[in-house]
Structure 1
């Protein structure tokens, strides 16, 4: 395939970053000031609880420099996720970025912005961004460096065809993600209906005693399961790492949207497990992050171990179902965070975890809930696997299309 080499500066109308000056928030503002944390999985993600608000006048003033508009490419330029990308979509008039985000406005006579987004999002470019990022405190991708990055572009019609093919994959992936969200919402609502509103099967004929259904109990976590901490093998010993044992840290759950998790970003060896405080836990262990931050929760899809940032629970399934405890922790995240303590950062200790009280419905009710909830989760897990496959296929397509191994039609 015929291509031509350009620098990003050659093919861009504007490359800049977000606001550098101190900005005063406006809690009544109708615009947002976003940062690198809002760039996730190729999209700009909003969080109404944490996003900074600014007024319209200030937002418009900032736009005079960035000229932010639809189909611009936002790139993380500061921090561990340097090089992460997102396409600016509809509604760009309602937000601006802080300096941790760079903005690339493609010259559409030379570069199709969607094609450029996919090109810069390939593994080779992501690796390159991390290599060229500099900074003593944290990695920084400076604008001068960004301008000089070289890219190979085919003619515009070819770029547009490739972008159309890859976008079709992303549209399907987003559709699956919406289905997963709906299934997870259904499972959460089922929990609320049965165990918060107490509209469980047979509730109409059930007597209540002390505010809970008759026959239900309140028990401490330490009496319904084993609370297990974790540990980290020495990072100075290579023999402890890159083995076959899945090892999890709270960071691994930061962007996890699935109920079940099978592994984190790192594995350890048998020797690493033996020489640390990490402990193997069985499938269906309820994994709860106990610090930095408190409240991430997942179920183990297979035997797994964690670092010291977890206080996990191996349930006594004759008393409590893992999926029930999973949703109990999810619904009570604010409470868990409120009881955490510590001088450096809030933390749930093992003794605190054991004392936490949990409402225990009868075994039959828990079993019924488990069956219903797991039916939703199983469908979501299947869709998640399809997303993984589609993502891998999409990532393989671009280099094959660029090399001519696959013919464009």
Structure 2
């Protein structure tokens, strides 16, 4: 069986509302949280762990259309994440910043619209709307002009019902990942920031360049415990194909996707060789926290030269990951970035960073606890990728009528 549904513009059935241009003087530490580009993570979610705020008094009738609530669909309109979408999960009022748009269904089922725009196909369509090689950018009108299938509303609801089951499994895995990451990060803070590690009561403190630290610990340069950009391929490398990690495919804490190329067709920046346990850190705009740990990569996985690849040599790779993703480390990179338009750091910036390195025994204990957590997170991320792939393969079959949605109870 095959069915051809009507199609129409996204703007025919949805309102697309670009965010509000707040003044620089509006920003403050608390108040009403505002969703910015940085909060659209690239994994079909909106990360509200760190948000900038504006005063409560700014929530006037004039700004009501920029209010974001639970279940709203957002799309990034500019930058490396242009075209990425996310669904808001919150129990508090939020406001929408410029360069992020809200897609508000009016004459369509919201879950059906989410199923469409969150698919890989449509996120790529959004991305290719963006013009400007240096800074991709799209308008609300361009988003509204994207063509979408528009089956009858009862069919939309049936399709959404099928795909929502996949979304719920994905969201459940994402919650588990956040819990596991929080557990490991809390352990790092407890042992290596607050110095409440096993047996700390009997260990005296001694002075160091970073203040008082436990006796037997040392302040070392990152280059003493890890290598930066250990190896890379060149034009003579005997690769038939490679799996490429580009900066836009990395969101805070994870690699969202890789792209397979024949070696001859690969981008010129596909040069950094990566291996299990390596840490990827985007050198451009480090305040955006585009970093991830590489876990069990396919052979011939190569990262962009826009990354610094950190390979742990004297510490567990999980220790290196948490040590280089603290707020203090991000601030160090941000303060040492150069270039007004595209602030960036270099390999020596990483190599010269000070790290507080504990005893070998304590490092081993930390690795014994956190490496299994990293493995479990990796398993959950793989499950999410498989669920998304299955969901994206199922969507066109539902829309084309290969699967008879009319026979599915509403």
TM-score, structure 2 normalization: 0.75
CA contact 1:206–1:214 (8 Å) conserved in 2: yes
Residues 125-144 of structure 1 aligned to structure 2 (within 5 Å): 125-130=122-127, 138-141=136-139, 143=141
Instruction: Describe the shift of the 1:336–1:265 C-alpha distance in structure 2 as closer, same or farther (beyond 3 A).
Output: farther
Q: Is the 8 A contact 2:247 2:306 kept in 1?
A: yes
Shift of 1:186: 0.8
Q: Secondary structure of the residue that 2:105 maps to in structure 1?
A: strand
Distance 1:296 1:367 in 2: 27
Q: Larger deviation: 381-390 or 119-128?
A: 119-128
**Residue 100 of structure 1: how far off its partner (Å):** 4.8
> Is the 2:280–2:294 contact (alpha carbons within 8 Å) kept by the matching residues of 1?
yes
- CA–CA separation in structure 2 for the residues paired with 1:290 and 1:150: 36
Q: 1:365 to 1:90 in 2, by over 3 A?
A: closer
Q: Which one of the candidate residues 354, 361, 370 is aligned to 1:373? A: 370
- SS where residue 253 of structure 2 aligns? coil
* Structure 1 residue ranges without an equivalent (≥5): none
**Contact 1:246-1:262 within 8 A present in 2 as well:** no
Following superposition, the deviation at residue 95 of structure 1 comes to: 2.1
Range moving further from structure 2, 379-388 or 130-139: 130-139
What is the distance in 1 between the residues matched to 2:69 and 2:400? Answer: 31
Equivalent in the alignment of 2:333: 337
Distance 1:250 1:208, change over 3 A: same
TM-score between both structures, scaled by the size of structure 1: 0.76
Match of 2:263 among 256, 265, 269: 269
State the 1:176 CA deviation: 1.0
* Alpha-carbon contact 1:17-1:99 (below 8 Å) kept: no
Unaligned runs of 5+ in 2: none
Query: Given the alignment of the two structures, is residue 98 of structure 1 paired with residue 98 of structure 2, yes or no?
Result: yes
Pair 1:18-2:14 in alignment: no
- 1:186 maps to 183
Q: Which residue of 1 aligns with 2:202?
A: 205
1:222 aligned residue: 223
Computed over aligned residues only, the root mean square deviation of the Cα atoms, in angstroms, reads 4.2
Contact 1:245 1:270 in 2 (8 A): no
What pairs with 1:9-408 in structure 2 (closer than 5 Å)? Answer: 11-12=12-13, 15-18=15-18, 26-27=26-27, 30-40=31-41, 41-46=43-48, 48-49=50-51, 51=52, 53=54, 55-56=56-57, 58-63=59-64, 73-78=73-78, 81-87=81-87, 94-98=94-98, 100-101=100-101, 103-107=103-107, 111-130=108-127, 138-141=136-139, 143=141, 149-210=146-207, 211-228=212-229, 244-253=241-250, 255-258=251-254, 264-265=258-259, 269=263, 278=271, 280=273, 282-293=275-286, 296-301=290-295, 302=297, 305-316=302-313, 319-331=314-326, 332-337=328-333, 340-344=336-340, 346-407=343-404, 408=408
**Displacement after TM superposition at 1:334 (Å):** 3.7
Distance in 1, matches of 2:132 and 2:117, equals 22
1:373-403 deviations in Å (ceiling 9; x for gaps): 1121122111111111111122122222233
Aligned residue for 2:311, secondary structure, equals: strand
Change in Cα spacing, 1:148 to 1:282, as seen in structure 2 (3 Å) is closer
Distance of 2:214 and 2:11 partners within structure 1: 70
What is the alpha-carbon distance in structure 2 between the residues aligned to residue 147 and residue 291 of structure 1? Answer: 31
Does the CA contact (< 8 Å) of 1:76 and 1:82 recur in 2? yes
Highest CA radius of gyration, 1 or 2?
1
- 8 Å CA contact 2:34–2:53 kept in 1: the answer is yes
> Quick one: higher RCO (CA 8 Å, sep 6+), 1 or 2?
2
Contact 2:246–2:303 (Cα < 8 Å) also in 1: yes
Instruction: Measure, in 1, the Cα distance between the counterparts of 2:339 and 2:185.
Output: 34
| C-alpha distance in 2 between matches for 1:228 and 1:218 | 22
2:76–2:82 contact (8 Å) kept in structure 1: yes
